[in-house]
């Protein structure tokens, strides 16, 4: 199995788990409709590595909730790269949550829990408890995403969402919704510069109340 050199640097002694996850996405994940066939050649760069590097901005031992986890992005690569993190994957669709459970078992990811439900459900919030960081990737427009993410975070915690080049426009458009959800300080930055040709853009919003 070939893999980019950056994968060894990012995953270290857990590289075998990352390779197994890549294989799962390229086969089972594609057959079950979670990954498009055209994405297979760029699974490493566009999906696995660019998700794993978001751990660069997370404190050791942080409690993390990944909402709308889908096929496990960014939560699974993050869990492999950062086994010290306590990660909960939140996914509403049954077929996806079943797949996530299978992957967690297959890769023996002891630091990962899968919950089937929606981030805005009271039962999910109660089960997850206030976390340090809420992550997401391509889940919803920023204002709606803040309304789902920030209530899962503890006061002083934050949501860290993977976003594209339009993030600045989203901030201006949805600033009122962000504030209404309890959001305070907003930062936009990139991670993974030393590993990726296209660094990952993140938005961080602190929960203030």
**What interhelical angle do 142-149 and 167-180 show, nearest 10?**
40
When pLDDT is averaged across residues 49-78 and rounded to a whole number, the result is 97
The CATH number of whichever domain residue 177 belongs to comes to: 3.40.50.150
What is d(CA 70, CA 92) in angstroms, rounded to the nearest whole number? 9
Nearest to 73, CA basis, from 111, 108, 34: 34
When pLDDT is averaged across residues 137-149 and rounded to a whole number, the result is 94
Domain carrying residue 184: 5-207
What single DSSP character describes residue 186? E
Nearest to 82, CA basis, from 104, 109, 101, 108: 109
CA 60 to chain centre: 16
What single DSSP character describes residue 173? H
pLDDT at 2: 86
What is d(CA 10, CA 12) in angstroms, rounded to the nearest whole number? 6
The count of domains in the chain is: 1
Q: Is the pLDDT of residue 1 over 90?
A: no
Q: Find tokens 């803040």 and name the residue.
A: 146
Spatial contact of 186 and 178, defined as CB atoms under 8 Å apart: yes
pLDDT at 165: 84
Per-chain mean pLDDT for the chain: 96
Side-chain half-sphere exposure of 104, counting CA atoms within 13 A:
23
pLDDT digits (tens, 9 = 90+) for 100-123: 999 999 999 999 999 999 999 999
What is d(CA 136, CA 51) in angstroms, rounded to the nearest whole number? 10
């Amino acid at each position: 199995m070939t893999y980019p050199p950056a994968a060894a640097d990012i995953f270290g002694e857990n590289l075998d788990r990352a390779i197994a996850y890549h294989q799962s996405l390229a086969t089972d994940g594609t057959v079950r409709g979670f990954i498009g066939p055209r994405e297979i050649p760029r699974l490493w760069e566009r999906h696995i590595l660019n998700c794993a590097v978001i751990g660069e901005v997370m404190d050791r031992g942080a409690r993390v909730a990944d909402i709308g986890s889908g096929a496990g992005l960014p939560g699974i690569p993050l869990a492999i790269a950062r086994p010290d993190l306590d990660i909960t994957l939140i996914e509403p669709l049954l077929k996806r949550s079943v797949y996530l459970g299978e992957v967690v078992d297959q890769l023996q990811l002891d630091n990962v829990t899968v919950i089937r439900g929606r981030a805005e459900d009271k039962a999910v919030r109660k089960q997850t408890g206030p976390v340090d960081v809420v992550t997401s990737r391509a889940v919803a427009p920023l204002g709606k995403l803040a309304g789902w993410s920030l209530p899962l975070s503890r006061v002083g915690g934050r949501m860290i969402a993977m976003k594209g080049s339009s993030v600045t426009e989203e901030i201006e458009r949805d600033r009122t919704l962000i504030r209404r959800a309890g959001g305070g300080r907003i930062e936009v930055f990139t991670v993974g510069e030393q590993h990726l040709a296209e660094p990952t853009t993140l938005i961080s919003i602190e929960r203030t109340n």
